[in-house]
Structure 1
Amino acid sequence: MSENVDISGNPTKYVWFTTLYNARAYYPILAVLFLDLGLTLDQYVLLNLVWALTIFFFEVPSGALADTLGRKTLLVAAAVLMILEMGCLLFAPKDGGWILIGLCIINRLLSGLSEAAASGADEALAYDSLPDGEKDDLWDEVLSKAMRYRAIAFVIAMIIGGLMYDSSILNRFLPENLQIPLTLAHRLPIALVLLQGIACLAITLSMVEPRRVHDVSFWKACKRAIKLTMKTAKWVFSNPKTRVFVIVGLAIDSVIRNFATITSSYYRLIELPEWSFGFIGAAVGLGGIIVPTIASWLNRRFSPLANFGIIASAGLIGLSGLVPANSYWCLIPSMMLMMTMSFLGFTMSRSLNREAESSKRATVLSVKGLAFNLGYGAFSLGFSGLLASLPEGTSGAALTKALFWQVPFYAILTFSLLLWGKWLLKRTTVET
């Protein structure tokens, strides 16, 4: 590939890709979508473990391949896999027994592969397309723009997804002979995300590699990828700053993200109507519009570890507020947790991109993704086991008790790691 290629459009295409890739219309009803297909809540949580394990095995190799074969190649693959994963859910039979479980497992595998392919490669391609000497300042602008676009898209996707899923709402606006059955309505958000996947494929195909990618065989690229993976992982966990950022970040993320995947079940627990799920997600999206501004200001004013402390504290308040699960007021801590995840994502991206060299940036970001998803998978396994072990089984009472027990676990884990991180960084500063 010629060195004199126009890469100036990549950051804008990254913004559109990450917006369409992440703002999915089935998110407000994600848990109940699988439950209404015929799965139990603990089965659904275990499916998320399958998703996390898939990323565990492919996250870092995919990032390393992005640094060897090319970031664009991995992004195109992520879009294709997104289309295939939506196809599995679109045609999964309701109460289909092992066929249903098999298709759901394939969906989680494809979703994990897609996430692994996109993670790191998208940000690395956009970051390296920025002019030298201006990357740090311009990246803050690109990242803020991407987060705002995603927030706006979430508002639209959440409202549409929630309304699509509730056939009683749709049928109010349709004539008698065009009434939509419930089973069809439950597939409409999936069909919309399938169209988003097709749009993502078109966007990634139009991207341009920001640097020359040498032609190598697949196996030679894999060998390079494994070597780069091991070298980069060693660097991430031997560098005191990146080690603290990743370990503290994954502790916070694992607990909050587990709740994010079961929010629709929680909304049913506090007896919210299904059509409202999308509006709640939209409200979270609107709140997310201001998160980049706040996160950027806090990150410029305080150290990364101080920001992690703020994030951990906000997470503890939010998780504690979920426990009563007895009124609509419980929506406030739920929404707070979703915005906390955005704050965490901004802080992690900003901190790691400043530490990583260009040649291994995608791999560093993938190491972070690997660690986060390993932590999330481990917590999902524990949470599923806790649900299954409770006398109430998979009822709402079991979910309430499980939410209660995760609060002290989260508090002890995160604040112990923050103290460790402060000690390690202080010791490192003294030694240097």
Structure 2
Amino acid sequence: MSASLAGNANRFVLFSVFFSARAYYPVLAILFIDLGLTLDQFVMLNLLWALTIFLFEVPSGALADTIGRRRLLIAASVLMIIEMLCLLFAPRDAGILLLVFCIINRICSGLSEACASGADEALAYDSLPEHQRAQTWDHLLAKVMRWRSLGYVVAMILGGLLYDARAVNLLLPEVWHIETTTAQRLPVILVLLQAVVCLFITLRMVEPPHATAASPLAHAFRLTLSTARWVLTNPKTLVVIVVGVLLDSIVRNFATITSSYYRLIELPEWSYGFLGAASGVLGWFVPGIAKRLNARFSMLGNLALIALLTLMGLLALVPAWPVYGLIPALLLMATMGLLSFTVSRVLHQEADSARRATVLSVKGLIFNLGYGLFSVGFASLLAVLPDSPEGIALRNALLWQIPFFVLLAGGLLVWAFYQLKPRQLKSR
């Protein structure tokens, strides 16, 4: 392995941190609303974002396997720069013009996510020494998850503080004090700088050797169909995807409504960014635990354990204990890390180099589809439940999702056991 190719591992870690840990995350919803959008418009924009990822997830993965992962990562970085420029220069309270800027932002964001999804891991994995690739990948995956968690901690704290003009002005001389509208653009400026760093990192990446097709687009289409068929007929990948999408969708849906849950358990709003940072700190320790669990137990054993932890967290959410309700919320955030490690490990071990990015994109498409469907169902449940007194609708919705999860998770785990039993597959 050449020295330049060996450097891809560290470049992958840096790219993952700067691409994923974005300072506007703790204020994303109010950022758009303060620009002049309504809450309904913001929800529709997020649907557009999810639809963009859904449509381009697998084609981008196939293109990554066909024309090169490095090119897709460069494209992801350029699109990230464009999406941040749209937010930075979006005119405040400008009606249709503002909406156009925000639509372009969401489309570019979805395209950027689709381009990066799978291509970064595939490039890093194929850059590792072939004779010890599986073992080395476990170490690298744990490393990137830890540093991503640390980046998330910094981003959550900085984003929340930079958005508040009062907090920024406390650190500045009086003559340098800034207006609220200026402070609200500061997290965007920070993420724009992160995007520039991502572009610099991806330009320095080296493409690992892999076969190329004479007709890239036609090959990408055939590769997409054949990979989807392979994922759904290989017992091990089928199980980890089907069980994984259930676990991911219910936990990720809760992750999107955490601020509403924090209000329900009577936490002050200024604490939300710090709580996001606390999740990042917790995420620093999860990869090491996940690595040991995956080394000791089978794939199905790990999925069953994650399902049990998820159920415990969901049950403990329902009472909505003031302050102490934070404990099950953090437990659910930890299960996301355990699941991500397990799914990634299995898919990388099963997929060959020629279709690795496409496999990861198929996984991303299915996971995003499952998340979207569950979110629609959860939102519909909230809409029909009475919300008097305030917060009772959310508490009842959290309660009603438990029997759904128990029945589906129990059935899928039994199905997975018989699916894997004939081959006695062990993930070690």
TM-score by length of 1: 0.90
Structure 1 residue corresponding to 2:267, chosen from 272, 275, 284 = 272
Q: Which moved more, 1:90-99 or 1:305-314?
A: 90-99
Aligned-pair CA distance for 1:35: 4.4
Post-superposition Cα deviations, 1:312-335, rounded to whole Å, max 9, x if no partner, equal 222222233333445222222222
User: 1 CA distance for matches of 2:104 and 2:321?
Assistant: 36
Structure 2 residue corresponding to 1:21, chosen from 10, 19, 22 = 19
Question: Which ranges of structure 1 fall in alignment gaps of 5 or more residues?
Answer: none
User: 2 CA distance for matches of 1:299 and 1:60?
Assistant: 27
User: 2 CA distance for matches of 1:181 and 1:103?
Assistant: 22
Aligned-pair CA distance for 1:272: 3.5
Is the aligned partner of 1:367 residue 2:390? no
Is the aligned partner of 1:55 residue 2:53? yes
Structure 2 residue corresponding to 1:230, chosen from 210, 225, 232 = 225
Report the CA distance shift for 1:380/1:37 in structure 2 as closer, same or farther (over 3 A). farther
User: 2 CA distance for matches of 1:424 and 1:99?
Assistant: 53
Match of 2:133 in 1: 135
User: 1 CA distance for matches of 2:223 and 2:193?
Assistant: 35
SS across alignment from 1:208: coil
User: 2 CA distance for matches of 1:100 and 1:34?
Assistant: 10
User: 2 CA distance for matches of 1:392 and 1:123?
Assistant: 44
Is the aligned partner of 1:414 residue 2:414? no
> Is the CA contact 2:267–2:322 (under 8 Å) kept in the aligned structure 1?
no
Residue type at the aligned position of 1:423: Y
Report the CA distance shift for 1:154/1:5 in structure 2 as closer, same or farther (over 3 A). closer
Is the aligned partner of 1:385 residue 2:385? no
User: 2 CA distance for matches of 1:43 and 1:388?
Assistant: 17
Aligned-pair CA distance for 1:365: 0.9
Q: Which moved more, 1:101-110 or 1:9-18?
A: 101-110
Q: Which moved more, 1:148-157 or 1:23-32?
A: 23-32
> Is the CA contact 2:237–2:350 (under 8 Å) kept in the aligned structure 1?
yes
User: 1 CA distance for matches of 2:33 and 2:392?
Assistant: 17
Aligned-pair CA distance for 1:38: 5.0
Structure 1 residue corresponding to 2:329, chosen from 313, 334, 350 = 334
User: 1 CA distance for matches of 2:305 and 2:50?
Assistant: 26
Report the CA distance shift for 1:318/1:137 in structure 2 as closer, same or farther (over 3 A). same
Match of 2:124 in 1: 126
Report the CA distance shift for 1:273/1:180 in structure 2 as closer, same or farther (over 3 A). farther
Residue type at the aligned position of 2:420: L
Is the aligned partner of 1:208 residue 2:197? no
Identical columns (%): 58
Report the CA distance shift for 1:182/1:154 in structure 2 as closer, same or farther (over 3 A). same
User: 1 CA distance for matches of 2:54 and 2:275?
Assistant: 31
Query: 1:11-410 alignment to 2 at 5 Å?
Result: 11-37=9-35, 44-94=42-92, 96-212=94-210, 214=212, 220-325=215-320, 327-392=322-387, 396-410=391-405
Aligned-pair CA distance for 1:281: 1.6
Post-superposition Cα deviations, 1:259-316, rounded to whole Å, max 9, x if no partner, equal 2223234334444344322221221111111111100000011111111111122222
User: 1 CA distance for matches of 2:43 and 2:393?
Assistant: 14
User: 1 CA distance for matches of 2:6 and 2:312?
Assistant: 42
Q: Which moved more, 1:133-142 or 1:33-42?
A: 33-42
> Is the CA contact 2:213–2:219 (under 8 Å) kept in the aligned structure 1?
no
Residue type at the aligned position of 1:328: V
Report the CA distance shift for 1:92/1:391 in structure 2 as closer, same or farther (over 3 A). farther
Post-superposition Cα deviations, 1:121-173, rounded to whole Å, max 9, x if no partner, equal 10110111111111011111111111111111112111111211222322223
Of structures 1 and 2, the one with the larger relative CO (CA 8 A, separation 6+) is 1
Report the CA distance shift for 1:168/1:106 in structure 2 as closer, same or farther (over 3 A). same
Residue type at the aligned position of 1:169: A
Question: Which ranges of structure 2 fall in alignment gaps of 5 or more residues?
Answer: none
Consecutive aligned runs of 4 or more in structure 1 exceeding 6 Å deviation? none
> Is the CA contact 1:26–1:193 (under 8 Å) kept in the aligned structure 2?
yes
User: 2 CA distance for matches of 1:307 and 1:340?
Assistant: 11
> Is the CA contact 1:70–1:213 (under 8 Å) kept in the aligned structure 2?
no
> Is the CA contact 2:35–2:91 (under 8 Å) kept in the aligned structure 1?
yes
RMSD: 2.5
User: 1 CA distance for matches of 2:271 and 2:43?
Assistant: 23
Report the CA distance shift for 1:77/1:248 in structure 2 as closer, same or farther (over 3 A). same
Post-superposition Cα deviations, 1:2-40, rounded to whole Å, max 9, x if no partner, equal x97831111110011011111111222334434444556
Report the CA distance shift for 1:398/1:179 in structure 2 as closer, same or farther (over 3 A). farther
User: 2 CA distance for matches of 1:71 and 1:49?
Assistant: 27
Report the CA distance shift for 1:140/1:237 in structure 2 as closer, same or farther (over 3 A). same
Post-superposition Cα deviations, 1:69-117, rounded to whole Å, max 9, x if no partner, equal 0000000011111112222333344555444444433322222211111
> Is the CA contact 2:59–2:224 (under 8 Å) kept in the aligned structure 1?
yes
